[in-house]
């Protein structure tokens, strides 16, 4: 059976990745800060699908937490076949008003932790084969505070790594959803309907994950779920950044 390691697995897209992969009979390693939430999900998946589920609590804003996950990825005796870098959180868009330590922690989770875990996974995947799926965002194509900057880095690095390590049997895919109904926005203090985003712009988590897994299996470097967001990304290539940035400021998320 293949083994998948998923960060940010306790809720949202991470939990949906876990459920869809368990349905495909993959064994799982679930990573998040909350051990209780992970154990609850692990119990559900073991009972419903009969797969092996390992729980690995870790805070990816902390160096020791990242290293504990990296060590598991480097383990060649019990190798990981799929890494899903999904952990992340959002901050208000007004960078100068945010606490700088929150911004640094945001950068560590979205960029540094993802980079370190990719590096660790490649140590055991090269030559053997494997997949890395980095959850980025359509925001990575639009100037929208530090969240966009982090996701832009993840997209660019995934594109390069997918080409570079294809010869070693490893694919790297950046999954770039738009606004998706998960607990992500609730953790920012925004109740459903108060995000400042039109209803037609929202995606379903099941569809996002299904598309990401499909495109990763096809070896695509970038996966953009839904035609509406593919069109938006295409527009960002021709419209001036001053215009796209102005539009992006209108939402609260």
Q: Which of 115, 86, 77, 89 is nearest to 20 (CA)?
A: 86
The answer to whether the Cα torsion of 7, 158, 172, 201 is positive or negative is positive
What are the residues whose beta carbons fall under 8 Å from the beta carbon of 207, sequence distance 6 or more?
A: 225, 226
Question: Choosing from 49, 147, 165, 229, which is the catalytic residue?
Answer: 147
- 8 Å CB contact between 79 and 128: yes
Assess whether 147 carries a catalytic annotation: yes
**b/e burial code for range 172-187 (CB count within 10 A of at least 16 → b):** bbbbbbbbbebebbee
Q: Measured at the alpha carbon of residue 146, what is the angle toward residues 144 and 151, in degrees to the nearest 5?
A: 85
- 8 Å CB contact between 21 and 206: no
Q: Measured at the alpha carbon of residue 148, what is the angle toward residues 146 and 151, in degrees to the nearest 5?
A: 110
| Eight-state DSSP code of residue 203 | B
What are the residues whose beta carbons fall under 8 Å from the beta carbon of 7, sequence distance 6 or more?
A: 14, 31, 32, 60, 69, 84, 85, 86, 87, 113, 117
- The catalytic residues are 147
């Amino acid at each position: 059976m293949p083994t998948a390691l998923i960060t940010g697995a306790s809720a949202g897209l991470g939990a949906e990745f876990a459920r869809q992969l368990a349905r495909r009979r993959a064994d799982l390693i679930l990573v998040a800060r909350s051990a209780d939430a992970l154990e609850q999900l692990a119990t559900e998946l073991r009972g419903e699908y009969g797969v092996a589920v390992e729980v690995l609590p870790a805070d990816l804003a902390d160096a020791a937490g990242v290293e504990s996950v990296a060590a598991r990825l480097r383990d060649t005796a019990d190798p990981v076949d799929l890494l899903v870098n999904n952990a992340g959180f959002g901050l208000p868009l007004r960078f100068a008003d945010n606490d700088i330590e929150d911004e640094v922690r945001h950068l560590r989770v979205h960029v540094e932790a993802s980079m370190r875990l990719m590096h660790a996974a490649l140590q055991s995947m090269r030559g053997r084969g494997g997949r890395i799926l980095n959850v980025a965002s359509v925001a990575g194509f639009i100037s929208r505070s530090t969240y966009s900057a982090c996701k832009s880095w993840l997209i660019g690095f995934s594109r390069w790594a997918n080409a570079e390590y294809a010869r070693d049997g490893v694919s790297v895919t950046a999954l770039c959803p738009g606004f998706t109904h998960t607990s992500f926005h609730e953790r920012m203090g925004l109740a459903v309907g108060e995000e400042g985003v039109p209803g037609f712009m929202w995606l379903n988590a099941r569809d996002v994950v299904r598309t990401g897994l499909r495109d990763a299996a096809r070896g695509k470097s970038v996966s953009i779920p839904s035609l509406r967001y593919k069109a938006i990304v295409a527009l960002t290539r021709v419209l001036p950044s001053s215009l796209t940035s102005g539009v992006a400021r209108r939402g609260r998320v």
